[in-house]
């Protein structure tokens, strides 16, 4: 949930780490801090955002630094709770992403032995535990204390006067980068890619010792080697590239993301598990859950394979009877609920398949098989291109089951996104701006698209929005409809068109402003609407893609007009690594 970054080399480490933390801010942004291991060890840490902090690293210097950008879990956002955390003597500094589950027991023991805590965080116990065993060999000290820690961690540790960074991983992602006379350690590749493309992904239990020219890794006390990988993303993919926000940049990347994902999956021959199973269970959270719901509709309707979709957070504690194939869908590959749910599925002897975006993420270590979507780094907290990439994976899987019956249509489907990107949505935005509540409705596979549209709207504009299956609106939510409550309805041609029109007329009778998405030249729909948005490729499955993009753009432009912090909405973080 937090971002950590460490650098050791011949450059100006505090500046390099500060810049790297800016790239990681999407993982958490309520406070940040940097430590350098001089004599004395120096720390700068503050509540607030790095982007607003100016040249706060100016007082620091040296060739080694570790830093952190936080999304609070234990203790409010404050200067004291910001990382790095130090031991009592100011000799050791730690940055940590994860949760120490047994921290309160450890803290009680440490306090009883005379340690003084300066923060409310779980992380600080690590610094004090190290203090008790550190006698000049930092790696040995880290190895000694880690067995006492229960939970998840990616951590970086430095000590006064020591010329190394020690990194350790357990259930939280940690990537190492090998540069020219410099080594890096980070929560993900985004701060590393501008320095080097050579990376290694640590495994659970790994402890690494970094110097400018060497990286030594051990696991369980034995030296281990980890495979070197080359990052293929362009540096621009992790930067805004002229767009005002990452979200709009990522929305515009979607035609390429869709076709790259389809093309790569075709060349890779993904596992054909789906052909052999009697039923499929899909588990996910948030936007990935909505994508899974789309898949359920398509899988059942087009392939006659029964599918159920469960929230990962529910599945974990209220596991239904489950057999066959369980698929976990997660952009980050680090969502704690989805990881735990997949572990439970494996305990029930199900085959497990992960659909993920981040290469080397934790989910691919848990699942029997992994399919990678090809969205590239998604920086904006609100998921957009990863949702389209998930749909691309699902459409490809359906095409595989149907032995290429949809291949030709998939070759062109990205054009639906291209066309949606060109639409002028200003009238629809005007209609949404004064609203306190907005309803999004659809039927069939457009119902989860409506859910996703509502999620995008509420998370970045802070306007309350609800997605509903259109037929459900009159079973309660009707009471809320008025001339101040816009309804956005997706109404493409098809079997449910007639009944959608009836629903829309019922809403019109309540004076509700109607923003309607339907086939171009649908005069009936246009006449009844307050704002009509022609849905590119409305009559094919690619209409799902264009409807998604329209609702993403509507949320984006509404939030922008309201001057919201679009890429970093309040209270949210990109990668939800806590349950």
Find the part of the chain contacting ligand F6R (CB under 6 A) among 191-199, 239-247, 282-290, 317-325: 282-290
d(CA 2, CA 24): 8
Q: Which residue is nearest to ligand F6R (CB)?
A: 286
CB nearer to ligand F6R: pick between 399 and 459:
459
Q: Which range touches ligand F6R (CB under 6 A), out of 217-225, 264-272, 286-294, 418-426?
A: 286-294
Whether residue 173 contacts residue 24, with contact meaning beta carbons closer than 8 Å, is answered with no
- Nearer to ligand F6R among residue 26 and residue 184 (C-beta): 26
By CB under 6 A, the residues from 457 to 476 that bind ligand F6R are 459
Contacts of 395 by beta carbon, 8 Å cutoff, 6+ apart: 262, 298, 406, 410, 413, 541
Binding test (CB under 6 A) with ligand F6R, winner from 73, 288, 352, 529: 288
285 is a site residue for ligand F6R (CB under 6 A): yes
CB of 33 to ligand F6R, least distance (A): 25
Least CB distance from residue 71 to ligand F6R, whole Å? 12
* Binding piece for ligand F6R, criterion CB under 6 A, among 9-17, 235-243, 328-336, 522-530: 328-336
To ligand F6R, the closest distance from the beta carbon of 569 in angstroms equals: 9
Report the residue from 123, 332, 370, 512 that binds ligand F6R according to the rule CB under 6 A.
Answer: 332
Residues 96 and 124: their CA atoms lie apart, in Å, by: 9
Q: Is 296 helix (H, G, I), strand (E, B) or coil?
A: helix
Q: Enumerate the active-site residues.
A: 2, 574
Work out which of 73, 123, 259, 287 binds ligand F6R, going by CB under 6 A: 287
Q: What is the CA radius of gyration of the chain?
A: 25
Cβ at position 366, least distance to ligand F6R in Å = 13
Binding region for ligand F6R (CB under 6 A) out of 114-122, 327-335, 341-349, 398-406? 327-335
85-123 burial, b at 16+ Cβ within 10 Å, e below that, comes to: bbbeeebbbbbbbbbbeebeebbeebeeeebebebebbb
Please identify, using beta-carbon distances, which residue of 313 and 485 lies nearer to ligand F6R. Answer: 313
Q: Residue holding tokens 């609702």?
A: 551
Of 183, 281, 330, 558, the residue at the interface with ligand F6R (CB under 6 A) is 330
How many residues lie near ligand F6R (CB under 6 A)? Answer: 14
- State how far the Cα of 34 lies from the Cα of 428, in Å rounded to an integer: 45
Can you give the three-state secondary structure of 311-322, one letter per residue?
Answer: EHHHHHHCCCCC
Of 424, 432, 455, 419, the closest CA to residue 530 belongs to 432
Decide: 194 and 5 in contact? Cβ < 8 Å. Answer: no
Q: Hey, is 474 helix, strand or coil?
A: helix
Binding to ligand F6R, residues 358-417 (CB under 6 A): 382-383
71 closest CA partner among 579, 577, 531, 507: 577
The nearer residue to ligand F6R, 127 or 356, going by C-beta atoms, is: 356
Nearer to ligand F6R (CB atom), residue 260 or residue 567: 567
- Cβ proximity to ligand F6R: between 284 and 491 the closer is 284
24 lies in the binding site for ligand F6R (CB under 6 A) = no
Question: Which tokens in the block code for residue 476?
Answer: 């309660």
Tokens 């004090």 correspond to what residue?
128
Q: Say how far apart CA 551 and CA 549 lie, in whole Å.
A: 5
Using the minimum distance from each CB to ligand F6R, give the nearer residue, 170 or 384. 384
- Between strands 280-284 and 307-311, the pairing is parallel
Q: Which of 286, 376, 377, 448 touches ligand F6R by CB under 6 A?
A: 286
Question: Binding residue for ligand F6R (CB under 6 A) from 47, 91, 335, 370?
Answer: 335
> Interface with ligand F6R includes 577 (CB under 6 A)?
no
Minimum CB separation of residue 173 from ligand F6R in Å reads 12
> Could you give the CA distance from residue 438 to residue 383 in angstroms, rounded to a whole number?
20
CA distance 297 to 450: 14
Binding residues among 537-576 for ligand F6R as defined by CB under 6 A: 576
Q: Smallest distance, Å, CB 389 to ligand F6R?
A: 10
Task: Please check whether residue 352 is in contact with residue 366, taking contact to mean a CB–CB distance below 8 angstroms.
Answer: yes
Structural tokens at position 460: 């970045």
Instruction: Give the one residue of 331, 362, 370, 496 binding ligand F6R; rule: CB under 6 A.
Output: 331
338 binds ligand F6R (CB under 6 A): yes
Query: Burial code of 267-289, b = ≥16 C-beta within 10 A, e = fewer?
Result: eeebbebbeebeebbbbbbbbbb
Task: Mark residues 170-189: x for contact with ligand F6R by CB under 6 A, - for none.
Answer: --------------------
Residue 423 near residue 534, CB atoms below 8 Å: yes
> What residues line the site for ligand F6R (CB under 6 A)?
285-288, 330-332, 335, 338, 382-383, 455, 459, 576
């Amino acid at each position: 949930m937090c971002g950590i970054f460490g650098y050791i080399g011949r450059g100006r480490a505090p500046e390099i780490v500060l810049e790297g933390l800016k790239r990681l801010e999407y993982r958490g942004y309520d406070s940040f801090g940097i430590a350098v291991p001089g004599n004395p060890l120096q720390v700068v840490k503050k509540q607030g955002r790095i982007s607003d902090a100016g040249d706060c690293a100016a007082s620091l210097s040296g060739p080694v630094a570790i830093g952190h950008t936080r999304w609070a879990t234990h203790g409010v956002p404050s200067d004291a709770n910001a990382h790095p955390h130090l031991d009592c003597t100011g000799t050791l500094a730690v940055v940590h992403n994860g949760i120490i589950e047994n921290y309160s027991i450890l803290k009680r023991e440490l306090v009883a032995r005379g340690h003084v805590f300066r923060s409310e965080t779980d992380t600080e116990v690590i610094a004090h535990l190290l203090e008790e065993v550190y006698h000049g060999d930092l790696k040995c000290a880290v190895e000694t204390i880690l067995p006492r820690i229960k939970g998840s961690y990616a951590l970086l540790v430095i000590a006064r006067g020591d010329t190394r960074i020690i990194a350790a991983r357990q259930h939280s992602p940690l990537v190492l980068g090998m540069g020219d006379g410099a080594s890096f350690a980070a929560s993900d590749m985004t701060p590393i890619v501008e320095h080097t493309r050579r990376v290694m992904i640590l495994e659970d239990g790994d402890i690494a010792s970094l110097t400018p020219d060497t990286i030594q890794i051990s696991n369980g006390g034995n030296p281990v080697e980890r495979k070197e990988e080359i990052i293929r993303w362009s540096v621009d993919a992790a930067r805004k590239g002229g767009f005002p926000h990452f979200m709009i940049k990522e929305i515009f990347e979607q035609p390429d993301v869709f076709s790259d994902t389809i093309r790569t999956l075709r060349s890779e021959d993904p596992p054909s598990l789906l052909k052999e199973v009697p039923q499929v269970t899909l588990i996910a959270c948030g936007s990935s859950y909505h994508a899974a719901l789309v898949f359920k509709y398509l899988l059942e309707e087009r392939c006659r394979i029964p599918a159920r979709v469960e929230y990962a957070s529910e599945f974990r504690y209220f596991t239904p009877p489950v057999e066959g194939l369980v698929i976990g869908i997660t952009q980050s590959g680090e969502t704690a609920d989805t990881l735990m749910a997949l572990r439970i599925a494996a305990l029930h002897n199900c085959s497990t398949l992960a659909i993920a975006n981040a290469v080397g993420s934790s989910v691919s270590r848990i699942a029997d098989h992994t399919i990678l979507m090809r969205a590239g780094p998604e920086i904006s907290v609100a998921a957009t291109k990863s949702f389209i990439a998930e749909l691309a994976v699902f459409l490809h899987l359906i095409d595989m089951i149907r032995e290429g019956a949809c291949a030709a249509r998939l070759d062109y489907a990205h054009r639906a996104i291209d066309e949606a990107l060109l639409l002028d949505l200003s009238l629809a935005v005007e209609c949404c701006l004064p609203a306190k509540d907005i309803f999004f409705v659809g039927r069939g596979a457009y119902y989860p698209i409506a859910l996703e549209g509502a999620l995008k709207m509420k998370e970045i504009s802070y306007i309350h929005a609800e997605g509903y299956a259109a037929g459900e609106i009159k079973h309660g939510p009707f009471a809320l409809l008025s001339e101040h409550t816009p309804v956005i309805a997706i109404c493409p041609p098809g079997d449910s068109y007639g009944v959608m029109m009836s629903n829309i007329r019922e809403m019109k009778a309540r004076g509700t402003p109607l923003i309607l998405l339907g086939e171009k030249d649908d005069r009936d729909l246009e006449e009844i609407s307050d704002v009509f948005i022609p849905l590119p490729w409305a009559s094919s499955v690619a209409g799902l893609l264009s409807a998604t993009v329209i609702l993403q753009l509507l949320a984006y432009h509404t939030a922008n007009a309201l001057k919201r912090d679009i890429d970093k909405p309040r209270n949210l973080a990109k990668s939800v690594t806590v349950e």
